[in-house]
Amino acid sequence: MEALNRVVGVLATNLYVIADERTREAIAIDTALPCLEWIAGELEARDWTLKLIVSTHGHWDHIGDNARVAEHTGARIAAHPLDAYRLAEPSGQSLPFEIPPSVPAVELAEGGEIRFGSVRLDVLHTPGHTEGSVCLLDNDNGRLYSGDTLFAGSFGRVDLPGGSPEAMVESLGRLRRLDDQLVVLPGHGPSTTIGRERAWLEWLAREGRLPV
């Protein structure tokens, strides 16, 4: 597996591009605006074909370039069905600029799997930040693409539309059961590991609530 990461846009969103070395097939996770020119250049330089655009959730800072990247590459868009309306109607969010709508062609659901070449990503439905937030677990390479569910030392906001403190506690409690060595690649900020986050994740599980 080959992987690229770029920080994109006004809210410094982490964009990830992952490719299978043999088939040269790739996916992009959270195509924030503006990223088309960078993605197009990297795909061409490496002879990769983008097959799928994955939105870990539907907030504007994670979906802004979905439509342009999909049009340029022919890649399909994937999102959890509970967040699909955010992609189709981005104008319903508070936007700093216009974002074209994008329509998911692939549904991400709990227990589902994304496969390209030899790479396999398991879909974990982790609501709390939004109703349809997901994480992608790459067991073979020891990575978790956590979107805005889990950050280094923190978690995604729950005070925005679709947020739920109760759901976030449950989702984080689930992630705490993963291996300590698992590298966490979040939607914003630096990477971390489950082991580094374990102390406060265990506190949340014991208390059954988010910190005030």
**pLDDT tens digits for 10-64?**
999 999 999 999 999 999 999 999 999 999 999 999 999 999 999 999 999 999 9
pLDDT over threshold 80, residue 94: no
d(CA 89, CA 136): 24
Residue 92 has pLDDT above 80, yes or no: no
- In this prediction, what percent of the chain has a pLDDT beyond 90? 95
Helix (H) or strand (E) holding 7: strand 2-8
Mean pLDDT of the chain: 96
**Distance between CA atoms of residues 68 and 203, nearest Å:** 42
Helix/strand/coil (H/E/C) assignment for every residue in 56-99:
CCCCHHHHCCHHHHHHHHCCEEEECHHHHHHHHCHHHCCCCCCC
Cα separation, 17 vs 204, whole angstroms: 32
Ordered strands of the 192-193 beta sheet: 113-116, 119-125, 134-138, 143-147, 183-186, 192-193
Quote the pLDDT of residue 91.
78
* pLDDT of 93: 72
Q: Is the pLDDT of residue 125 over 90?
A: yes
Cα–Cα distances in angstroms (integers) from residue 88 to residues 2, 9, 25, 85, in the given order:
31, 20, 26, 5
Return the pLDDT at 95. 83
pLDDT at residue number 97: 84
Tokens matching residue 63:
């979906």
Residue labelled with tokens 């403190």: 165
What is the Cα–Cα distance from 66 to 104, expressed in whole angstroms? 10
Domain annotation for the chain: domains and CATH numbers: 2-207 (3.60.15.10)
Alpha-carbon span 22 to 188, nearest angstrom: 30
Q: What is the predicted pLDDT for the residue at 207?
A: 96
The reported pLDDT for the residue numbered 96 is: 81
Residue 205 has pLDDT above 80, yes or no: yes
Residue type, 182: L
Q: Is the pLDDT of residue 147 over 80?
A: yes
List, for residues 172-194, the tens digit of each pLDDT value.
999 999 999 999 999 999 999 99
Model confidence at 151, in pLDDT bands (50, 70, 90)? very high
Smallest CA-to-CA distance from 88 within 13, 97, 79, 96 is with 79
Is pTM beyond 0.85 here? yes
Contacts of 56 (CB under 8 A, 6+ apart): 29, 30, 62, 133, 134, 135, 136, 145, 146, 147, 148, 149, 187
pLDDT class of 212 with cuts at 50, 70, 90: confident
